[in-house]
Amino acid sequence: MEVVQYKCPNCGANLEFRAETQDFGCAYCGSDFTKEQIEQIYPKQEEHPLDVEEPEKTEEEIRLEQEFEAINSLYNCPSCGASVITDDTTSATTCFYCHSPVILTGRLSGQFRPSKIIPFKTTRENAVANFKAWCGNKKFVPKDFKSDATIEKMQGIYIPFWLADCRVNGQMIAVCKQSSSVKSGDYITTHTKEFAVVREGSMIYEGIPADGSSKANDELMESIEPFDYSELEDFSMSYLSGHAAEKFDITKEQVYPRIQKRAADDAAEQFRKTIKGYSSINVTTQNMNIPSINWKYMLLPVWFVSYKFKDKMYYFAMNGQTGKYGGNLPFDSLKAKLLAGGLGAAIFLLFSLVGIFL
C-alpha cells in the first residue's frame, strides 16, 4: 500500500481541497492551486500504486500479520512518521497525531475505484452551524451532546454510493366505485357504480442512490437526498485531500433489493395518481418489475458526526453539496425526570403558599 499527500510546491506544507472555492490552498504560505495545476504537478498521485517487494518473513510473523490485516490496515504518515491504523473500509483519513490529511490509494484501486465524485460544496463551518441549530433548542438531549468535544468530531466523509438507472414495467388493477345519493321524503337512495380500472406502462429512472457502506445508516442517508448529479466530476484522488473516505463494503447485488423497492414503490405511486374521479379506489393487483438496470459507483460528500449514549449510537449528517441535514437525537431520561421533579416541587410549593394565605 502507498500513502499519498499533496504538498504545496512553494513551501512544502499540506494542501487541502476547499469546498467554497473548489480549489486547493496552503494554510501556511497562502498559495492557491486549481485541480488542473495539481494534476500537472503530481501526475503520479493519480495512478495506481505499484506493488512493493516485501522482505522474507518467518512463518510466525506471517501468521501474526495475517491476523492483524484481517481487521486492520497499517500506514505510516509521511509528515510525522506516526502509524495510521484504519479498518478495511477506510480509503482516506487523517493522522491522529499531526492531523495531516492522508490518502490511502490502495483502497481505491481496481474494482474499488469510483468513476465519479461530487466534491464538497459546503464547509465545515456550515455543518457545525446547522448541527447547533438542529439540537440547540432540544431540552432533553445530554449536555455533552452539544459540547465542543462532540462538535470537534464533525468530519467530511466521502460515502460510497451505488447509483442505478433502470426501467420499471408495471401493471395495476383496481376496483373503483362512484356513488351518488338522492333524498326522497324520509328515504335516501344511494346508487353505486363499480369499475375495473387497469393501468399499464413503463417508467424510466435515472440515478436511484443506495449507499454502499455498512457504517452509514440507510434511512439517514436517504433523509439528506437528493444530490445534484449535474455537478458530478470524473474521480480524482486530489478531491480526497483533507477529507475522509470509505470504500464500498456492500456490493451492488446486496443493495439491489433496496433499489428495486424504491423504484417499484415510486412507480406504483405514480400509477395510483392517474386513477381519479372515484369515491373509492381499491387496488387488487399490482405488479412492478425491473427488466434491466445499469450501475454506477461514485463517492458523494457528507458531513458527519456520531455520538454514543447508553451503548447506542446517534448520528447527524449533512449533505456536503446541498446543505440538507438530518439525524437522530439521544434522549436523556434522567434530565427529563429531574425537570419533571422540579416542576412538581414548584407546583407543590405554590399550592402550599396559597394554602397559607387562605
pLDDT tens digits, 79-99? 766 656 566 667 777 776 666
Same domain, 310 and 170: yes
Categorize the per-residue pLDDT at 184 as very low, low, confident or very high, splitting at 50, 70 and 90.
confident
Rg, C-alpha atoms of the chain:
28
282 pLDDT above the threshold of 60:
yes
The answer to whether position 344 is within a domain reads: no
Same domain, 87 and 213: no
The answer to whether position 221 is within a domain reads: yes
pLDDT at 66: 61
pLDDT at 50: 34
Number of domains the chain is built from:
2
Categorize the per-residue pLDDT at 329 as very low, low, confident or very high, splitting at 50, 70 and 90.
confident
In terms of average pLDDT, the best of 72-86, 95-109, 120-134 is 120-134
Mean pLDDT of 90-115: 71
C-alpha–C-alpha distance, residues 265 and 257, integer Å:
12
Same domain, 192 and 308: yes
The answer to whether position 52 is within a domain reads: yes
pLDDT at 119: 95
Same domain, 291 and 162: yes
Same domain, 102 and 169: no
336 pLDDT above the threshold of 50:
no
The answer to whether position 345 is within a domain reads: no
Same domain, 178 and 313: yes
pLDDT at 226: 95
C-alpha–C-alpha distance, residues 276 and 192, integer Å:
16
Same domain, 227 and 311: yes
- Cβ atoms < 10 Å from Cβ of 178: 13
Categorize the per-residue pLDDT at 29 as very low, low, confident or very high, splitting at 50, 70 and 90.
low
C-alpha–C-alpha distance, residues 167 and 203, integer Å:
6
Mean pLDDT (the chain) is 80
Same domain, 72 and 181: no
- Domain with 40, as residue range(s), is 3-113
pLDDT at 48: 44
Same domain, 236 and 328: yes
The answer to whether position 287 is within a domain reads: yes
Beta pairing class for 244-246 and 155-184? parallel
Same domain, 234 and 290: yes
Same domain, 325 and 222: yes
Categorize the per-residue pLDDT at 109 as very low, low, confident or very high, splitting at 50, 70 and 90.
low
The answer to whether position 346 is within a domain reads: no
pLDDT at 357: 46
In terms of average pLDDT, the best of 67-71, 203-207, 234-238 is 203-207
Instruction: Give this prediction's pTM.
Output: 0.72
The answer to whether position 138 is within a domain reads: no
Same domain, 217 and 304: yes
Structural contact between residues 164 and 293, judged by C-beta atoms closer than 8 angstroms? yes
Mean pLDDT of 137-153: 76
| pLDDT-wise least confident of 58-62, 115-119, 315-319 | 58-62
Helix (H, G, I), strand (E, B) or coil at 93: strand
The answer to whether position 356 is within a domain reads: no
Q: Which of 79, 96, 65, 72 is nearest to 28 (CA)?
A: 79
